[in-house]
Structure 1
Amino acid sequence: MYAILDIETTGGKYNEEGITEIAIYKFDGHQVVDQFISLVNPEREIQPFVVNLTGINSGMLRHAPKFYEIAKRIVEITEDCILVAHNAQFDYRILCTEFRRLGFEYIRPSLCTVELAKDLIPEQPSYSLGKLVRSLGIPVTDRHRASGDALATVKLFKMLLDKDTTKSIIQQSIRLNPKLQLEPRHLDIIAELPSITGVYYIHKADGGIIYIGKSNNIKKRINQHFTNTNQKSKKIQDQVTAVTYETTGSELVALLKESEEIKRIKPIFNRALRRTTFTHALYSFIDDNGYINLKIDVADGRKNPITTFSNKQSGKSFITKVVEDYKLCQKLTGLYKTKTSCFNYDIKTCEGACIGKEPAESYNKRVTELINKNSYKNKNMVIIDKGRDIDERSAILIENGVFKGLGFFNLNYQINNIEVLESIITPMQNNRDTQHIIQSYLRRNNRVKIILFG
């Protein structure tokens, strides 16, 4: 008996994703004998690119059952079944992660239709589900929704069963998915680590640092390094002999320290992180009619951006939000290409800057407010955030738009002038990466305290 499934998730960091939709079809090799389909409230944010891909948004999931409410049904419908999925390693990992959060160890044998298709239908131009079923003439509806993708996988799996004439290839491809067992030395390392925010350093036998990272929970993050199955993690697992760490309390401090340490030490497994951490930026220009226009574009080192983004989608999501928050024009922010009025003007939420109805002076005032809020160019300010202890705070100093460094101070210690502040600051390098880190953090954390000074 087979349980053919597809899962849609929130996206996000590895092992921190949540399920937004699940579809399971119980298949006896000839026909579907049972099914379970449900939206799921993931109790976490859905990444914007996932909303665009699946059409599933937070509003749709507000009244959906949480995972613990459907967990029993999932256990029952998959009991004594082989799990089948397109890229089964992903779906199986997500299910196991959700069950582990409930304190339940979910173990099922599995089959991957990607691997089976490569064996039984070789030389296909692509083995992604959409392209593969299209090339095989298998109809698919509701692409990127759990039910549609799971039904397409049922039809694909039925075809693969027919092509396995010896009935041996599928049998040999079943994975038993035993519970991951950590080596004793890995367990010893994890046992010594705290569940705190900070920067961690992974060392090899001679003491050399092979990887630097930051986490809001160092113990949990190292555990992920030791249980992940990708190539980089396996190499780290082979070479690690010790993990040291530095407590920061603040995620922003951890991000800044991680960036500087990677640039200074250049660990072998941080190659990807040594590259610039952003790809797109927000720029402004004044058009022929005197209006300030905004544009998300590929980051260009020769230009001065207002703020930067990790990817294009992040920038687009930011623009979409500020258009609403500041009542800006879709046309003048690059969201709506038109020679006449923007869509928001037609529904009375744009004041008409797109057709010259709103004076440039009043429109530009709101754009300038947005720019000032999201750029610290020419500003003198201190960002106050969490410290390493309950009676401590961290301080990030920016002078004339330049990041100078960071430090920690006791709550009883008054920071009231620049001389006192500079005495507790440890100097650090200012570069495009630190600017991106600070601006991105401030966008995500509106409650961070900022002190402006002359």
Structure 2
Amino acid sequence: MYAILDIETTGGKYNEEGITEIAIYKFDGHKVVDQFISLINPERDIQPFVVNLTGINNNMLRNAPKFYEVAKRIVEITDDCILVAHNAQFDYRILSTEFSRLGFEYVRPSLCTVELSKDLIPGQESYSLGKLVRSLGIPVTDRHRATGDALATVKLFQMLLAKDTGKSIIQQSIRLNPKLQLEPKHIDIIKELPSVTGVYYIHKSDGEIIYIGKSKNIKQRINQHFTNTNHKSKKLQAQVSTVTYEETGSELVALLKESEEIKRLKPKFNRALRRTSFTHALYSFVDDNNYLNLKIDIVDGRKKPITTFTNKQSGKSFITKAVEDYRLCQKLTGLYKTKTSCFNYDIKTCDGACVNKEAAETYNKRVEALITKNSYANKNMVIIDKGREIDERSAILIENGVFKGLGFFNLNYQINNIEVLESIITPMQNNRDTQHIIQSYLRKNKHVKQITFDNP
């Protein structure tokens, strides 16, 4: 007996996702004999990109049952069944995580239709569910909804059963517990790693570093590397011999060290060009009426940005919030294209810079306050963040707008001026990546302490 399922989630950090919708079809090899379909209140917000993908939003789930209210039904319908899913490792992990939050160990054998399709239907251009079923002539409705995807998986699995004429491939592909499908050497490596923030280095048997990464939980991140089933992960799993690490305490320190080490060592499994980590930037210019305008645009190496963003949407979200926080004009920030007044002026939340009603000098002061807040150009400052121990802090030094390096100090150690700081700082390279990393981190972590120094 098989339990063919699909799960939609909130998205978000690994193992912090919540289920928003589940569909399970109990299948005896010929027909569906039972089913369970339900929206689920995940008790956490859904990521915006997931809302766009699935159409499921927070309002839809407000009155839906919570997971603990449907857990018994899920246990019953999957009892004595083999779980079947497209990318079963993901669905199994999500389901097991939800049950573990209830203090229940959920264990079922499983089959992955991605792996089975690669064995039984080789040569496909793509093995994603949507593209695969289309290429096989399997109808699919409600794509990226649990019911539609689960029904498509039922039809795909029927085809796979028919193609497994020797009845051996599917039998050999059953995993007893995907969570524990690790090679002994991988288990030994993970056992020695701590659950700390830092930079990790994956080595081959000859000591060569083939991958560098950072994580807020190194043990968990390496476990992901060893359990992922994509092509890159499998190659990494085959070549890994040891993993070393450097604890940093601070995620910002880890990001900066990771960036520098990748540039220095150029491991083959890391992306060759790290510059692609940010694509858009915030620029300013003065218009014909002497108003200071802001604009989110594609990064241009010839211009000096105020701050940079990973993508256009991130930049747009930033400028939208800035308009509200600093009472800026939508027209002069590029959010509202018009030759007359902006929408906010019409509803009296813009003071009229768009139609020359507000003095340019008054308006520009608020824009300059935003620029000063989000740029460390020409500043002498130190960013104080977490350290590796309880009585330690990290320090990131910036002199005249240039990132100089970082270090650690004991809480009993007095930091009075840049000269004192320079004695504990390890010099590091300043470049566009470090600027992006620091500015992006400060935007997301507003509680981080910053100390400004006078010019020497």
Could you state the TM-score of these two structures normalised by the residue count of structure 2?
0.83
The answer to whether the 8 A contact 2:256-2:437 is kept is: yes
Matches within 5 A, 1:401-440: 401-440=401-440
In structure 1, which of residues 144, 149, 154 is the aligned counterpart of residue 151 of structure 2? 154
Are residue 177 (structure 1) and residue 178 (structure 2) matched? no
Tell me by how many angstroms 1:8 deviates: 2.6
Residue 307 of structure 1 corresponds to 307
Checking the alignment, whether the CA contact within 8 Å between 1:138 and 1:152 is kept in structure 2 is no
**Which residue of the partner structure matches residue 224 of structure 1?**
224
Deviations 1:423-451 (A, max 9, x none): 11111100011111101110111110000
Distance across 2 between alignment mates of 1:121 and 1:185: 30
1:255-404 equivalences under 5 Å are 255-272=255-272, 274-404=274-404
For the residues of structure 2 that align with 1:60 and 1:404, how far apart are their CA atoms? 49
Q: 1:253 to 1:126 in 2, by over 3 A?
A: closer
Is 2:211 the counterpart of 1:211?
Answer: yes
Match of 2:25 in 1: 26
Task: Give the distance between the partners of 1:320 and 1:197, measured in 2 at CA.
Answer: 32
Alignment: residue pair count: 447
Displacement of 1:368 after TM fit? 1.9
Name the residue aligned to 2:248. Answer: 248
Distance 1:359 1:23 in 2: 56
Native 8 Å contact 2:200 2:218 kept in 1: yes
Q: Specify the code of the residue in structure 2 equivalent to 1:389.
A: E
Contact 2:198 2:216 in 1 (8 A): yes
Counterpart of 2:335 in 1: which secondary structure?
A: coil
Counterpart contact for 2:43–2:66, Cα < 8 Å: yes
The answer to whether the Cα contact below 8 Å between 1:89 and 1:112 also exists between their aligned partners in 2 is no
The Cα shift of 1:47 comes to: 3.5
Question: How large is the Cα RMSD of the aligned pairs?
Answer: 3.6
Distance in 1 separating the partners of 2:334 and 2:344: 13
Cα 1:228–1:375, aligned 2, differ >3 Å: closer, same or farther?
same
Q: Cα 1:420–1:189, aligned 2, differ >3 Å: closer, same or farther?
A: same
TM-score by length of 1: 0.84
- CA displacement, residues 103-159 of structure 1 (integer Å, 9 cap, x when unaligned): 624424346389769978998999663996699695845x5444xxx2365267459
Contact 1:385 1:448 in 2 (8 A): yes
Superposition pairs of residues 115-134 of structure 1, within 5 angstroms = 129=130
Percent identical: 68
SS at match of 1:270: coil
Letter in 2 for 1:350: C
Letter paired with 2:422: E
Please give the alpha-carbon distance, in whole angstroms, between the structure 2 residues aligned to 1:52 and 1:152. Answer: 16
Q: CA separation in 1, counterparts of 2:182 and 2:133?
A: 37
The 3 A distance-change label for structure 1 pair 427 and 187 is: same
Segments of structure 2 that go 5 or more residues without pairing to the other structure are none
Equivalent AA in structure 2 for residue 245 of structure 1: Y
Quote the Cα distance in structure 2 between the aligned partners of 1:152 and 1:10.
17
Render the CA deviation track for 1:275-301: whole Å, top value 9, x for unaligned.
Answer: 542122222223333333322222222
> Could you say what secondary structure the match of 2:318 adopts?
helix
Give 5+ residue unaligned stretches, structure 1: none
